[in-house]
């Protein structure tokens, strides 16, 4: 469910919304168990984009709840015996429809060092025929999570051990599904930064949600209570704000408006710019109709790029 990729036999993807495979690892941050640290890795296998991050959280798991609301997983991997009772409540209440699988520590749910070792040995990022001296090196996001004192990049950084361990669980599971080579070789990694962290850190991130200086961020509890993305009856979009506002013609447009709803504009200048753009478009209805008809014919370009990479991989020939 969370490891679907599109091959020649599948035709065009029928669903527009992303389906995430999420793995996470948790560690208490104080003796009382009120504070905790999460390492997370989630991937949309149909697009081939990985998000990796590590963050502190409170006793209510606020940041973790927000993550799973913004990027709803259809499949969850965790280390057996690892999740706290608070995290188990989140998994049971808000994510009961997702497939949840516990993996054996070390053997299946790798630690950070084993993850880096496997990445180095398997040569996922090596491109044949390229004489580039950087060919085969780790993507910048993963490289930044390794220890500065280890030039071989085989030691996890102090603040990234859990994140790399969560990545290891994803890689183990993808190896089991025989899709590790085609997805990892894309090298499409992004650091996940929680939406409420200080703005100084988010300047570095390319994440849509990181630009919080002009966006109001809705946390997981708010999204659930206001039924913005899913209704409280059967978990579908029926009767939600998303259903009301989503008139998009393209699958990637549908994914973008979902992100916009999770973090709506609150900067008056940006809001006015968007209103001005809408006025300009409404002034030319005939052109708007023409462009709309053209957009309807567009395939899901994001997923097609992943499909081209997969089919063109030398491993498939």
* Residue 197 CA: distances (Å) to CA of 3, 193, 200: 30, 7, 8
Question: Domain residues of the chain, as ranges?
Answer: 8-316
Residue 189 and residue 170 in contact, taking contact as beta carbons nearer than 8 Å: no
Note the pLDDT of residue 152: 84
Its pTM stands at 0.82
For residue 298, the model assigns a pLDDT of 87
pLDDT score, position 8:
44
pLDDT of residue 130: 58
Q: HSE-up of 245 (CA within 13 Å, CB side)?
A: 16
* Cα–Cα dist 129/198, whole Å: 43
pLDDT in tens, the chain (317 residues): 566 665 544 545 556 677 899 999 999 887 776 789 999 999 988 888 899 999 999 988 989 999 998 898 999 999 999 999 999 999 988 788 889 999 999 999 999 999 999 999 988 887 765 555 565 688 999 999 999 888 888 899 989 999 999 999 999 999 998 888 888 988 889 999 887 774 445 455 555 554 546 778 788 888 888 999 888 887 788 889 999 999 888 888 888 898 888 888 888 888 999 999 999 999 999 999 999 999 988 888 877 877 777 676 665 54
Q: What is the reported pLDDT for 206?
A: 53
Report, in angstroms and rounded to the nearest whole number, the Rg of the chain calculated over CA atoms.
21
By C-alpha distance, which of 87, 17, 77, 92 is closest to 47?
Answer: 17
- DSSP code for 137: P
C-alpha angle 108/34/79, rounded to 5°?
5
Which contiguous run of DSSP H or E holds residue 49? strand 49-57
Superfamily of domain 8-316: MutS, connector domain (3.30.420.110)
Q: Are 112 and 156 in contact (CB under 8 A)?
A: yes
Per the DSSP assignment, residues forming a β-bridge with 21 are 43, 75
The tokens 């989503």 sit on which residue? 246
């Amino acid at each position: 469910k969370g490891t679907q990729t599109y091959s020649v036999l599948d035709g065009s993807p029928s669903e527009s919304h992303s389906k995430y495979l999420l793995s996470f690892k948790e560690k208490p941050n104080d003796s009382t168990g009120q504070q905790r640290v999460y390492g997370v890795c989630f991937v949309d296998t149909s697009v081939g984009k990985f998000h990796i991050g590590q963050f502190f959280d409170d006793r209510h798991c606020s940041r973790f709840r927000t993550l799973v609301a913004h990027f709803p997983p259809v499949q969850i991997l965790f280390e057996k015996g690892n999740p706290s009772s608070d995290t188990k409540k989140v998994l049971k209440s808000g994510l009961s429809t997702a497939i949840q699988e516990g993996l054996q520590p070390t053997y299946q749910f790798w630690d950070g060092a084993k993850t880096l070792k496997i990445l180095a040995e398997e040569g996922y990022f090596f491109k044949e025929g390229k004489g580039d001296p950087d060919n085969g090196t780790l993507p910048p996001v993963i490289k930044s999570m390794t220890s500065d004192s280890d030039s071989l990049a085989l030691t996890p950084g102090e603040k990234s051990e859990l994140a790399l361990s969560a990545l290891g669980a994803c890689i183990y599971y993808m190896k089991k599904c025989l899709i590790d080579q085609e997805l990892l070789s894309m090298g499409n990694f992004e650091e996940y930064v929680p939406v409420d962290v200080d703005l100084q850190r988010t300047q570095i991130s390319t994440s849509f949600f990181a630009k919080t200086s002009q966006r109001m961020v809705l946390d997981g509890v708010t999204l659930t209570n206001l039924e913005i993305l899913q209704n409280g009856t059967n978990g579908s979009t029926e009767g939600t704000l998303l259903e009301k506002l989503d008139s998009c013609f393209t699958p990637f447009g549908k994914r973008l408006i979902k992100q916009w709803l999770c973090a709506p504009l609150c900067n008056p200048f940006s809001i006015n710019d968007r209103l001005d753009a809408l006025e300009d478009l409404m002034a030319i209805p005939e052109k708007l109709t023409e462009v709309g008809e053209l957009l309807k014919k567009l395939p899901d370009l994001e997923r097609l790029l992943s499909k081209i990479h997969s089919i063109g991989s030398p491993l498939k020939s």
